[in-house]
Amino acid sequence: MSKLLKVENISKEFQTKNKGVTVKAVSDISLEVKAGTTLGIVGESGCGKSTLGRLILKLLKASAGTISFDGVELEKLSEKELRSQRMKMQMVFQDPFSSLNPRQKIADIIREPLDIHKVGNMASRKKLVEETILRVGLSLEALERYPHEFSGGQRQRICIARAIILKPKLIIADEPVSALDVSIQSQILNLLSELKRELNLTYIFISHNLSVIRHISDQVAVMYLGEIVEMADSEVLFKNPQHPYTKALLSAVPQIDGSAGAKQILQGDLPNPFHIPSGCSFHPRCPVAIEICSSLKPALMPNSAGESKVSCHLINPPKAGGK
């Protein structure tokens, strides 16, 4: 399988109204996604995962770093070329209520990608729209209605229809089921899985919900305060978490089989993103932090077993691995 997406050293800083004070939402993130796989990005609210998703799609301009998609370096593209590239990478947003234009008919919403990129003619577009709405599990008569006439789950199906109609290669789903009822969540997740197989899609799935991530991802990246602290294959990460933060996250998830690990309650609150702690940003809350954690920032490196990439001094002691 080839590398569909390669992100290198992506950072994003936001300027605030106070002169000179910036918030670093995403710090120096690098990752790769292989075609046909699903990368799950998980973390608490405010860790920067949504920002990362938007950076990859170039909905936000990165402060630093490069993104290569399907062999093309996105930074080098002109506005027009970038718009054309967008055919291949799509997004499904978190809030199905606000990501649909309330004044557009469903047919127009789903057909819009085709109109924008001038695919086929009116007749072929109409046909494609009809096929797609059926594929996501809604009926043809939905096409003539407006977004407010549908439930959350149905609207999300419409969003998915809009995202897949151009048969993209990559879909970034930003908390696509977080706003939905639990019973509907599994329906949508199943739909996404089916579509992945049928259309040979690659997903980046962003969520704060560990069970959902576990269910759907091939690889998982854990984010904390704008950085990736651990990245591994899904099975490996959930069976054998390395980073203290990952362990704490996992211990908080109720297990259906009743086997609960010792619950690790994290000390303190999430730090103010304006004042990211020195050294390892997790060290103030880390139950096993040592002295060096407060002064030296750990790098994301493979652990000794080679299965997971972790940024932690305890897993990858600085003297041995170096920086």
Binding interface with another protein (CB under 8 A): 57, 59, 83-87, 90-91, 93, 95, 98-104, 112-113, 116-117, 159, 162
Of the pair 9, 98, the CB lying nearest another protein is at 98
Residue 268 to residue 271: CA distance in whole angstroms: 8
Specify whether the CB–CB gap between 212 and 177 falls below 8 A.
yes
Of the pair 167, 239, the CB lying nearest another protein is at 167
Of the pair 116, 199, the CB lying nearest another protein is at 116
Of the pair 96, 226, the CB lying nearest another protein is at 96
Q: In the chain, where do the E strands start and end?
A: 3-15, 22-34, 38-42, 64-69, 72-73, 89-92, 170-174, 202-207, 219-224, 227-233, 301-302, 309-310
* Closest distance of CB 259 from another protein, Å: 40
**How deeply is 65 buried, as exposed, middle or buried, from its count of CB atoms within 10 A (0-12, 13-18, 19+)?**
middle
* Closest distance of CB 236 from another protein, Å: 32
Of the pair 82, 266, the CB lying nearest another protein is at 82
* Closest distance of CB 160 from another protein, Å: 12
Of the pair 94, 311, the CB lying nearest another protein is at 94
* Closest distance of CB 143 from another protein, Å: 17
* Closest distance of CB 166 from another protein, Å: 8
Cα 20 to chain center, whole Å? Answer: 29
Amino acid at 80: K
* Closest distance of CB 102 from another protein, Å: 8
* Closest distance of CB 164 from another protein, Å: 12
Of the pair 67, 210, the CB lying nearest another protein is at 67
CA distances from 243 to 109, 248, 254, 308 (A): 43, 9, 19, 10
Of the pair 7, 100, the CB lying nearest another protein is at 100
* Closest distance of CB 113 from another protein, Å: 5
Residue 137 to residue 283: CA distance in whole angstroms: 47
Cα 173 to chain center, whole Å? Answer: 6
Residue 125 to residue 118: CA distance in whole angstroms: 9
- φ/ψ of 97, rounded to 5, equals -80, -40
Specify whether the CB–CB gap between 74 and 17 falls below 8 A.
no
- Residue 191 φ/ψ region, left for φ over 0, alpha for ψ in the -120 to 50 degree band, beta for the rest: alpha
